[in-house]
């Protein structure tokens, strides 16, 4: 039962820790701030990060390392767009790639005219591209992705196997996804997360996707907690949250629970013993 203070308990194995990240500043953010109609320009197709965006990536990477978070993350899930993948590999990737390391780089040299050296996958968690966590679909060319074939050349160590179509068949030039449709897709994405065995996961995605997906949560919390969950993310902002499986979606057993009483023996709780044998008085 929840206490009057609003506290509650939940089994650990029915929880996952999510480190949610909005991508760093892209060129579409700069142009859209000047004129909202710029979002409809094909000049901003699959916009990449600005130089300031890359500085934001570097700052977040330093924080992730200093906080110890980089050692705990088991999986990075990323929206398959240039700005999110650049952000993801820049923050959570391995050390700069050098010759002689026999692993594919997470990002090749100068992807998106970034001027950045290749980023190694050495000692980095797995990266998986997932379409369910893309931004609002349709109308805005900045939210249209390239062919997966192109991305595989840019980001060799990102796993694109969950994306069925090489071309972007989800984005429509004349139909913009409704907010409630984005929210429904977000809930479907969170349900999909329960099919993963990993318990601590980073998700690098988009402002609109995060806002509309998370707005479904926190209604039973203190208003300040609701605000922490649902407020729009700044560029390259990270928020860590715990999601719980109330509906038994996941099937994993606990890796830390221990059944006790092994081997079998007498272990009647003292309060139960008192009820059964009141003549014995208080148990020690």
Mean residue pLDDT across the chain: 89
Once rounded to an integer, what is the mean pLDDT over residues 166-194?
96
Domain ranges of the chain: 23-95+103-244
Q: Assess contact for 25 and 237: CB atoms under 8 A.
A: no
Closest CA to 191 of 159, 220, 213: 213
Closest CA to 108 of 151, 77, 79: 151
Structure tokens belonging to residue 160: 């694109």
Residue environment code for 124-140, b if the CB has 16+ CB neighbours within 10 A, otherwise e: bbebbbbbbbbbbbebb
Please name every residue paired with 105 in a beta bridge, in sequence order, or none if there are none.
120
Higher per-residue confidence, 79 vs 14:
79
User: ∠ CA 159-46-51 to the nearest 5 degrees?
Assistant: 95
In the annotation, is 23 catalytic?
Answer: yes
Per-residue pLDDT tens over the stretch 103-115:
899 999 999 999 9
Please identify which of the residues 23, 28, 136, 212 carries the catalytic annotation.
23
Tell me which residue has tokens 């109609």.
37
CA distance 267 to 284: 13
Cα separations (Å) of 11 from 16, 119, 199, 241?
Answer: 11, 38, 13, 16
| CATH number belonging to domain 23-95+103-244 | 3.40.50
CA distance 261 to 269: 12
Q: Assess contact for 106 and 157: CB atoms under 8 A.
A: yes
Dihedral Cα 29, 34, 40, 46, nearest 10 deg: -20
Is residue 67 scored above 50 in pLDDT? yes
**First CA to last CA distance, the chain:** 29
Model pLDDT, residue 102: 79
Is residue 4 scored above 60 in pLDDT? no
Phi then psi for residue 81, to 5 deg, are -130, 155
Please identify which of the residues 131, 135, 140, 206 carries the catalytic annotation.
135
Once rounded to an integer, what is the mean pLDDT over residues 213-233?
91
Structure tokens belonging to residue 182: 């984005």
**208 pLDDT tier (thresholds 50, 70, 90):** very high
Once rounded to an integer, what is the mean pLDDT over residues 41-61?
97
Per-residue pLDDT tens over the stretch 20-31:
999 999 999 999
Helix (H, G, I), strand (E, B) or coil at 211: helix
CA distance 204 to 131: 12
CA distance 248 to 94: 35
């Amino acid at each position: 039962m929840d206490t009057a203070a609003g506290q509650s308990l939940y089994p650990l194995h029915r929880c996952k820790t999510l480190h949610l990240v909005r991508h760093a500043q892209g060129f579409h953010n700069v142009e859209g701030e000047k004129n909202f109609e710029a979002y409809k320009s094909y000049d901003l197709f699959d916009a990449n990060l600005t130089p300031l965006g890359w500085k934001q990536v570097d700052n977040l990477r330093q924080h992730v390392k200093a906080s110890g978070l980089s050692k705990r993350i088991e999986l990075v899930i990323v929206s398959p767009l240039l700005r999110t993948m650049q952000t993801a590999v820049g923050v959570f990737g391995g050390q700069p790639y050098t010759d002689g390391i026999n692993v594919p780089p997470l990002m090749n040299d100068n992807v998106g005219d970034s001027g950045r050296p290749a980023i190694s996958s050495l000692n980095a968690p797995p990266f998986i591209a997932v379409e369910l966590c893309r931004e609002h679909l349709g109308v805005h060319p900045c939210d249209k992705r390239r062919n997966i074939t192109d991305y595989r050349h840019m980001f060799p160590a990102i796993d694109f196997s969950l994306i069925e179509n090489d071309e972007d068949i989800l984005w429509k030039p004349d139909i913009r996804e409704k907010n409630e449709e984005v929210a429904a897709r977000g809930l479907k994405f969170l349900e999909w997360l329960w099919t993963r065995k990993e318990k601590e996961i980073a998700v690098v995605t988009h402002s609109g996707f995060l806002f509309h997906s998370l707005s479904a949560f926190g209604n039973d919390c203190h208003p300040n907690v609701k605000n922490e969950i649902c407020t729009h993310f700044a560029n390259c902002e990270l928020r860590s949250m715990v999601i719980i499986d109330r509906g038994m979606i996941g099937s994993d057993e606990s890796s830390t629970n221990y059944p006790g009483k092994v081997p079998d023996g007498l272990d009647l709780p003292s309060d139960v013993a008192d009820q059964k044998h009141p003549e014995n008085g208080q148990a020690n």
